[in-house]
């Protein structure tokens, strides 16, 4: 019980009185994960001494629940004074354990903190972001690679565990089958490597999705004039504006006034847009770069993306990915 008590306090300490909060001006390695639209984000800033390859200083910023703040704060304490080689080997399971465990539905906080470390180290080594990591979950921008690392680190064998550890499938859940596929593939590899017993490996279809409907898809009401007028003696609360379609479409500013940036910047944006298309195409959608104006990227969505109820979610997902690839704030504007 004594250890339990200590670790329980540790979680509270890191959440209530986190150390190493804020911007590290002299950072030479930054790892940023998550986005406002996903509900979680961590920015981990490290000062690594190039001679000794030791973490001299670390600071963090995080946006999310208590467990995410605690995990990010704990990570700074875990790595300060350690060598790059040592930090490289800290797993997300180590982070969860350091905090005395996390509730099942908060395990993604340890995974996200781990990914922040890895990104910071990759940035230190001067590695560019992997070209296009296939996206598993659009709602929360979870890549297959992140899911695979979580499956291995935490020995996951159930799709619902993958959701708890990465948030993949915790939104529209349209990716459930993809989660099953990735889980089965990784489990099979783990079995071959002797890291998992064959009976434990996941077989697609063996665990159903939660199956509890939360809210109806709903039906849009019939068009105006479809039924008799309502008696005039009934007065109503102020009428709101008509409900917009699933996604507002904007008009482009005149061509001559658009700021496309340097040709290199424009090409970079073009390339970044190309790289998000396969994800959309997998769901029968697509997008096309129309133009750029300063920080605004004008995109034309097509196929299933048009009128999709989740179009705004998709857009924030695309935006987050573009921001990440371009490493500067950009705004995605849909145009028709």
Q: Report the interface residues with another protein, using CB under 8 A.
A: 12, 15-16, 18, 21-22, 32, 34-37, 39-43, 61-66, 68-69, 105, 139-140, 160, 163, 167, 170-171, 210, 212-219, 221-224, 226-227, 230-231, 234-243, 295, 316, 319-320, 323-324, 327-331
Residues 251, 169: Cα–Cα separation, whole Å: 34
**What does DSSP say about strands 40-49 and 29-35: parallel, antiparallel, or unpaired?**
antiparallel
**196/323 with CB nearer another protein:** 323
Angle (deg, nearest 10), helices 144-154 and 159-166: 110
For the CB of residue 244, give the shortest distance to another protein in the complex, in Å: 9
* 206: Cβ contacts below 8 Å, ≥ 6 apart: none
DSSP code of residue 252: P
**238/263 with CB nearer another protein:** 238
For the CB of residue 86, give the shortest distance to another protein in the complex, in Å: 26
Nearest to 303 by CA among 323, 333, 277, 274: 277
Tokens of 195: 């890291």
For the CB of residue 208, give the shortest distance to another protein in the complex, in Å: 12
Identify whether the C-beta of residue 315 lies closer than 8 Å to the C-beta of residue 332: yes
**28/281 with CB nearer another protein:** 28
For the CB of residue 191, give the shortest distance to another protein in the complex, in Å: 27
For the CB of residue 296, give the shortest distance to another protein in the complex, in Å: 9
**129/195 with CB nearer another protein:** 129
For the CB of residue 156, give the shortest distance to another protein in the complex, in Å: 15
**4/36 with CB nearer another protein:** 36
Please, what is the Cα angle at 152 between 148 and 156, to 5 degrees? 95
Tokens of 242: 């008509």
**92/316 with CB nearer another protein:** 316
Identify whether the C-beta of residue 91 lies closer than 8 Å to the C-beta of residue 111: no
**50/218 with CB nearer another protein:** 218
Residues 185, 182: Cα–Cα separation, whole Å: 5
The conformational region for residue 34 under phi > 0 = left, psi -120 to 50 = alpha, else beta, is: left
For the CB of residue 235, give the shortest distance to another protein in the complex, in Å: 7
């Amino acid at each position: 019980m004594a250890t339990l008590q200590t670790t329980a306090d540790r979680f509270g300490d890191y959440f209530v009185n986190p150390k190493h909060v804020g911007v590290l001006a002299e950072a030479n390695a930054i790892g940023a994960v998550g986005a406002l639209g996903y509900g979680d984000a961590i920015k981990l800033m490290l000062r690594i001494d190039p001679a000794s390859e030791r973490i001299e200083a670390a600071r963090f910023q995080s946006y999310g629940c208590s467990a995410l703040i605690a995990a990010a704060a704990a990570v700074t304490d875990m790595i300060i004074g350690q060598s790059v080689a040592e930090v490289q080997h800290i797993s997300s399971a180590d982070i969860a354990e350091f905090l005395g465990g996390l509730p099942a539905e908060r395990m993604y906080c340890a995974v996200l903190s781990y990914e922040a470390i890895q990104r910071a180290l990759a940035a230190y080594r001067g590695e560019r972001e992997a070209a296009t990591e296939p996206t598993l979950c659009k709602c929360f921008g979870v890549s297959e690679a992140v899911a695979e690392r979580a499956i291995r680190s935490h020995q996951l064998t159930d799709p619902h565990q993958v959701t708890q550890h990465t948030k993949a499938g915790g939104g529209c859940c349209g990716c459930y089958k993809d989660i099953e596929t990735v889980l089965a593939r990784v489990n099979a590899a783990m079995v071959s490597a002797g890291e998992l017993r064959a009976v434990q490996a996941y077989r697609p279809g063996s665990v159903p999705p939660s199956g509890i409907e939360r809210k109806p898809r709903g039906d849009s009401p019939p068009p105006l004039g479809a039924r008799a007028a309502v008696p005039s003696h009934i007065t109503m609360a102020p009428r709101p504006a008509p409900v917009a379609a699933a996604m507002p479409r904007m008009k482009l500013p005149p061509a001559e006034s658009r700021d496309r940036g340097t040709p290199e910047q424009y090409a970079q944006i073009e390339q970044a847009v190309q790289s998000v298309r396969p994800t959309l195409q997998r769901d029968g959608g697509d997008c096309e770069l129309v133009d750029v104006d300063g920080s605004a990227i004008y995109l034309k969505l097509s196929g299933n993306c048009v009128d999709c109820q989740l179009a705004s979610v998709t857009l924030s997902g695309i935006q987050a990915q573009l921001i990440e690839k371009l490493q500067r704030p950009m705004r995605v504007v849909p145009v028709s």
